Copies of this chain bind each other. A is one copy, B any other.
Amino acid sequence: MNTKTLERLYNNPHEKNIDGNFQFILFGGTGDLAHNKIMPAFYNLVEKDILPQHFTLLATGRRYSSKKEYLDAIYDSLNSKKKEVDNRVWQVLSDNIEYFELNFKDDNDFMKLKKYFADQSKNNKIYNRIFYMATAPEFFGEIAEKLKKFDLLNVGFEDNDSKLVIEKPFGHDLKSAEKLNNTLTNIFQEKNIYRIDHYLGKEMIQNIMVIRLSNPIFRSLWNTGEIDNIQIYINESEGVKDRGKYYDDAGVIKDMFQNHMLQILSLITMEEPDDLSSKSISTRKVEVLKELSKIDIESIDEHIVRGQYIFNKYGDDEIKAYQDEKNIPDDSETATFIALKLFLDNERWNDVPIYLKSGKRLKKKEAGIAVEFNHDFHNSYSENSEVQSNLLKIMIQPDEGVSLRFNTRKPGSNNKIVPVEMEFCHSAHQLFNSPENYEGLIHDMIEGDKTLFTSWEEVYYSWKFIDKFQTKCNNEDLKLYKYPALSKGPEAADELLKNDDRIWWD
């Protein structure tokens, strides 16, 4: 985040944080993302008094025909999420919301929007514009092109300095991502394009760098000599729900690996950035992703475990097989689970296996990082079965925290060992409430801080790796293991580590 701290503002709620007024134009303003993430985030930002006096949240969509209808719908969905909507907060928020009925297939609607901007301009109500794409991804390019075609970007301004916010996915492979990127960068400057990976907004993901850089002990230990292996896991318990159409094309590899998993991987393994600027950090992340994109995929085919969930009974509940979910073909071979092992061929990580795992319909919703340190115990302890490896865990969700495991003497024993876990829990440790991811992200896009957004280069090299990986899986007919819904996934994923004399730490 930027130089002004959210935190200070939480402590001094009457101090304004964001100085410049702005206009937020939401495409897909009536959709799930708007209801579930964006509006609640704005509500919280208003509640904490972080927004400037003047801002407009211009929601566009087709579903409602009046502002009143729209506000009622938003109010209802806020009400269903909050214990109670504070009327004072709602008053401020709703005063700043405008609803603009717009079908983005209809050129006329864009003309109307342009007129709306022009009217604002006449009334000196021009603010910096942030165009937020909260629609289905296939429309991102189309909408951007219409913004250009109908010259909506410059209304009231000399230069087009408008920002564009893009939700994931950014393309569905390298080629489509490049095409989309070409379209967007023809219209917006790269510096004004904010590609959201909402994982980057998570508290513990932002903590990775703090842990690595502000602790000399971890800085010293952060290399192949000291670390035995690294594990990153995002286990989901949900199925594909009503995203079947998107998901069956994407699979877990595009849904989770191309973005969140690779972003976490790069933050954990990158070289230290020169400073904390988004540019310096991105440079280091790109180095890792570039490295990944060079991996000889042939060399890791034995290190890939693909899985798909099948029917299971869980208590009284019958859990559908993936192939029986809505919009999923009966014979779909899409992987809903992938575990894999890979290496980074550089000085720091030479010989350190990195294990990645993510899947849907797993037993426990849990995301985290485990850094297992080497096994250089003193010879008097190396054969001791009670001794366990030192383990640093960064828990991302649902628990947020850090734990470190080390061996200590079992009190009163004859030098028996007991491994203990020292834990600092962020979510339990209520310094103050952790903000919603989207609050932080929205705050940063308004303020112009790109640290928590992915650069084009990052996207490019991520896709380069994922494309190779995907091609490999498609061409070679890699085995697809079936695993019962709400189980811990295919046995083969455990075997992958067992073969290396290791276990998963999730």
Contact = CB atoms under 8 A, between A and B. Distances in A.
A273 B224 CA distance: 26
A422 interface: yes
A434 to B, nearest CB: 5
Contacts of A400: 411
Given A214-B378, A217-B390, A424-B422, A431 B408 contact: no
Interface string A189-208: 00000000000000100110
Contacts of A213: 377-378, 380-381
Contact of A422 (B220, B409, B423): B423
A432 B414 contact: no
A396 B25 CA distance: 61
Interface string A363-402: 0000000000111111111001001011000000000101
A141 interface: no
A211 B406 contact: yes
Contacts of A218: 406
Contact of A5 (B219, B220, B377, B414): B414
A180 B389 CA distance: 47
A389 B216 contact: yes
A404 B404 contact: yes
A272 to B, nearest CB: 6
A411 B424 contact: no
Contact of A415 (B1, B375, B409): B1
A451 to B, nearest CB: 9
A315 interface: no
A377 B379 CA distance: 32
Contact of A424 (B206, B211, B381, B420): B420
Contacts of A406: 211, 215, 217-218, 402
B376 A216 contact: yes
Contacts of A212: 378
Contacts of A214: 377-378, 381, 384, 387, 407, 417
Contact of A215 (B207, B407, B413): B407
B402 A408 contact: yes
Contacts of A216: 226, 373-377, 389-390
Contacts of A435: 412
Contacts of A206: 409, 415
A10 interface: yes
Contacts of A407: 210-211, 214-215
A279 interface: no
A375 to B, nearest CB: 7
Given A214-B387, A407-B214, A414 B221 contact: no
A112 interface: no
Interface string A1-29: 11111111010000000000000000000
A434 B412 contact: yes
Contact of A219 (B7, B378, B387, B432): B378
A475 interface: no
Contacts of A377: 213-216, 219
A62 interface: no
A373 B217 CA distance: 7
A264 to B, nearest CB: 15
Contacts of A379: 275
A418 interface: yes
Contact of A418 (B410, B431, B434): B431
A276 interface: yes
A276 B440 CA distance: 53
A404 B221 CA distance: 15
A326 interface: no
Interface string A436-450: 000010000000000
Interface of A: 1-8, 10, 203, 206-207, 210-221, 226, 272, 275-276, 373-381, 384, 387, 389-390, 400, 402-404, 406-418, 420, 422-424, 426-427, 429, 431-435, 440
17 contacts: A4-B414, A7-B410, A206-B409, A210-B408, A210-B415, A211-B407, A213-B377, A214-B407, A215-B377, A216-B226, A216-B377, A217-B373, A218-B406, A219-B376, A410-B431, A422-B422, A422-B423
